Amino acid sequence: MAADVKKIGVIGAGQMGGGIAQVGATSGLEAVVYDAHPASLDKARALHEKLLNRAVEKERMTREEADAALGRISYAKSLDDLAGSDWIVEAIIEDAQIKKDLFARLAGMFTDTSVVLATNTSSISITEIATAAGDDASQARIVGMHFFNPVPIMKLVEVIPGLATSDEVVARTTALAEAMGKTPLRANDRAGFVSNRVLMPMINEAFYAWMEGVAEPEAIDGIMKLGCNFPMGPLRLADFIGLDTCEHIMNVLADGLNNDRYRACPKLKQLVTAGRLGDKTGRGVFDYSK
Ligand code: CAA
């Protein structure tokens, strides 16, 4: 356990935030998860109960351990309920301005600068988000702490310092990720970091292969699963991540790396325009309604 962290505050109860709170609680931390939408909190609570019950059934933990972990998670309807947290992880919508507004607010709320303000952004510049917090000293505690979906299963945490992030905060982030049972690996603050710099162009290329008639989605995914040992094909994975998120990350890559070869494939954009965003809307490349 990272001795200095006892309570994490997670902002956003979606797939990522809910997963981060769960992993925090199963690692022995108090976790308070905040969301502006009560329905998201209810959904997160139901998923936590389901996954921990399953862990008991599978004998990965005892009933007592599961109940204790569930008891360490609280669900907050107000940001003020995060008071007392000694670590914050933001996992809200991928919108630079909304994140900057939030970090400005967090910097004002948590005046004790030993409280680290981490962002789970998948591609937005940590340095840009940190500018909202004020001077260099205030920005020193802002760090990228990028988890992967599904958080309880995926081992990686990408640790990304911004320009002003202190070495101490990077070391504490690494220690906390390890205490949460993850493997932290460091990346620099360039668009997409490492994970999405490499993953998203591959997914985008799968959309081009589909659009150009190289193969149908089932064949594209089957070829990558059977031929490259991917657990999910790239198009299935795009639905899982969310097609709007994929498009957004491609835009961040194209703008941040100043290279149009990273622009989102028209086929991907078309599905987003049609509201077919993947698992979360029941339909994306594939249809999940049945
Ligand atoms: N939350 C928690 N646990 C989950 C889960 C979820 N959302 N989805 C599946 N699992 C669990 C299942 O319960 C199951 O556990 P049990 O041992 O208790 O049965 C286990 O994972 C395996 O699940 P399945 O047998 O149903 O299916 P699977 O073997 O195909 O595994 C998977 C599912 C783990 C999701 C696997 O397909 C996989 O690894 N896919 C790739 C995921 C990936 O690449 N994630 C990264 C996305 S990129 C990202 O997150 C960052 C970004 O910035 C965009």
pLDDT in tens, 51-100: 999 999 999 999 999 999 999 999 999 999 999 999 999 999 999 999 99
Cβ of 238 less than 6 Å from ligand 1? no
CATH of the domain at 171: 3.40.50.720
CA 167 from centre of chain = 23
Residue 142 has pLDDT above 80, yes or no: yes
Residue of 40, 123, 166, 196 marked active site? 196
> Do 35 and 104 reside in the same domain of the chain?
yes
Band of residue 136 on the pLDDT scale cut at 50, 70, 90: confident
Q: Range of 75's domain?
A: 7-186
> Do 21 and 158 reside in the same domain of the chain?
yes
Last residue of a domain, one of 160, 186, 212: 186
Contact 74, 81 (CB under 8 A): yes
CA–CA separation, 96 and 252 (whole Å): 10
Question: For the residues 227-242, what does the mean pLDDT come to?
Answer: 98
Strands 142-146 and 156-161: antiparallel
Cβ of 150 less than 6 Å from ligand 1? yes
Q: Give the closest residue (by CA) to ligand 1 atom 30.
A: 231
Band of residue 2 on the pLDDT scale cut at 50, 70, 90: low
Question: For the residues 119-135, what does the mean pLDDT come to?
Answer: 94
> Do 200 and 180 reside in the same domain of the chain?
no
> Do 256 and 158 reside in the same domain of the chain?
no
282 domain residue, yes or no = no
288 domain residue, yes or no = no
Burial class (CB in 10 A: 0-12, 13-18, 19+), 229: exposed
CATH of the domain at 203: 1.10.1040.10
Active site annotation includes 216: no
